[in-house]
Amino acid sequence: DHPTALTLRFDFGRLIVHDGVVGVPDITLRGPLAALEALGDLRARTFGPRRDLTVYGLWTHPLMVRRLFRVLSER
């Protein structure tokens, strides 16, 4: 697994995607590439414990993490 980093920055209703880490992120998701790619396959009602992922910022920004997962689970 090779390291990959993206920064999603939300500014006044716009999403800007940066290659790499920009600034100090509020939320960081770390894990194997396959686990990160599988986030798009999740459903909002079936979130279970994901032991292969580490979510930094979960305790300091719980609502933002919840909204992020909701956006990732919608199609």
Mean pLDDT of 39-49: 64
Using alpha carbons, list the distances in angstroms from residue 64 to 8, 15, 18, 55: 13, 14, 19, 12
* Closest of 50, 6, 49, 2 to residue 25, by C-alpha: 6
| pLDDT of amino acid 2 | 66
| pLDDT of amino acid 7 | 85
Contact between 20 and 5 under an 8 Å Cβ cutoff? The reply is: yes
Residues 8-37: pLDDT tens digits?
888 888 888 888 888 888 888 888 888 888
| pLDDT of amino acid 60 | 92
Average pLDDT score over the chain: 79
The count of other CB atoms within 10 Å of the CB of residue 27 is: 15
Contact between 47 and 72 under an 8 Å Cβ cutoff? The reply is: no
